[in-house]
Amino acid sequence: DIQMTQSPSSVSASVGDRVTITCRASQGISDWLAWYQQKPGKAPKLLIYGASNLQSGVPSRFSGRGSGTDFTLTISSLQPEDFATYYCQQANSFPYTFGQGTKLEMK
Amino acid sequence: EVQLVESGGGLVQPGRSLRLSCTASGFTFGDSVMSWVRQAPGKGLEWVGFIRSNAYGGTTEYAASVKGRFSISRDDSKSIAYLQMNSLKTEDTAVYYCSRDHNTPMESTYYGMDVWGQGTTVTVSS
């Protein structure tokens, strides 16, 4: 199975900050990666597909980069509604696997 | 409105069975790949399984943790995907989500799980 490792596991930041979350795959997955945002008690929401493509309706302050094994999700200027947990997910091969999550907390 | 609604969750004893349903509306369900994802209390997301559209044989894939116990099926005439869970264990306790997925041989990249239900809670306990 492909292991997905996110870092950091948690991060404290302030409104207006730039935040980057990293996701590393245990083997190459090309660009078969998605990023999701999840708020407590809610279903995940797709932010980024194909490693770097912004899902329709998602604010442009979110961006994704990477290919192969190393990927990043960047929020360019944090807004209050961005405090949530973020997950990466690979779909290059079965079983799909998710990263362990990164909790973004308000400083 | 594009929507998925899960149902069928509840409290069940270890070793028993439960069937979850995922009812779709607002899109062409028969053309869609569907995934199930679960989340144990206080934990991260875990992919459970996947069913291709009938155009791709309606075949399924499963996580090792549920293979042989869980099965996914679909009824395109009713726009419903099912998750049949047998021989339930306490570690299957979780919120179960269905999602519309995008993973076919025709895709050049992965378009992600773009529509999710609200989730249904399954508690396995004696």
Q: What is the pLDDT of residues B34-54, one digit of tens each?
A: 999 999 999 999 999 999 999
> Do the chains contact at A95 and B116, CB–CB below 8 Å?
no
* Cβ neighbours of A97 in B, within 8 Å: 47
How many cross-chain Cβ pairs, A to B, lie less than 8 Å apart? 72
| pLDDT tens digits along A10-40 | 999 999 999 999 999 999 999 999 999 999 9
Between CA B58 and CA A87 the distance in angstroms is: 28
User: What average pLDDT does chain B have?
Assistant: 97
> Do the chains contact at B50 and A1, CB–CB below 8 Å?
no
pLDDT reading at A60 higher than 90? yes
Contacts of B42 (CB under 8 A, 6+ apart): none
Amino acid B106: pLDDT: 81
Q: Tell me which residue of A79, A82, A77 sits closest to A104, measured CA to CA.
A: A82
Query: What is the C-alpha R_g of chain B?
Result: 14
| Complete DSSP assignment for chain B | --EEEEE--EEE-TT--EEEEEEEESS-GGG-EEEEEEE-TT--EEEEEEE--GGGTT-EEE-TTTBTTEEEEEETTTTEEEEEE-S--GGG-EEEEEEEE---TT-SS-----EE---EEEEE--
pLDDT reading at B108 higher than 90? no
- How many angstroms separate the Cα of B106 from the Cα of each of A61, B14, B111? 30, 41, 12
Query: What size, in residues, is chain A?
Result: 107
Query: What chain A residue is nearest to B46 in terms of C-alpha separation?
Result: A98
| Three-class DSSP category at A97 | strand
When pLDDT is cut at 50, 70 and 90, the band that residue A55 belongs to is very high
pLDDT reading at B17 higher than 90? yes
| pLDDT tens digits along B95-106 | 999 999 998 878
* Cβ neighbours of A88 in B, within 8 Å: none
What does the CA dihedral A12, A97, B39, A59 come to, rounded to 10 degrees? 50
- Once rounded to an integer, what is the mean pLDDT over residues B81-87? 98
Q: Beta A10-13 vs A102-106: how paired, if at all?
A: parallel
Chain B 77-106, residues with CB within 8 Å of chain A CB atoms = 97, 102-103
pLDDT reading at A81 higher than 90? yes
Share of residues in chain B with pLDDT > 70 (%): 100
DSSP state of A91: -
Between CA B115 and CA B70 the distance in angstroms is: 22
Between CA B28 and CA A25 the distance in angstroms is: 33
Query: What chain A residue is nearest to B4 in terms of C-alpha separation?
Result: A43
User: Best interface-test mutation with B: which of A21, A73, A96 has the largest number of B CBs within 10 A?
Assistant: A96
> Do the chains contact at A45 and B63, CB–CB below 8 Å?
no
* Cβ neighbours of A94 in B, within 8 Å: 50, 61
pLDDT reading at B107 higher than 90? no
Q: How far is A31 from chain B (nearest CA, A)?
A: 7
Q: Beta B120-124 vs B10-12: how paired, if at all?
A: parallel
User: What average pLDDT does chain A have?
Assistant: 97
Amino acid A1: pLDDT: 96
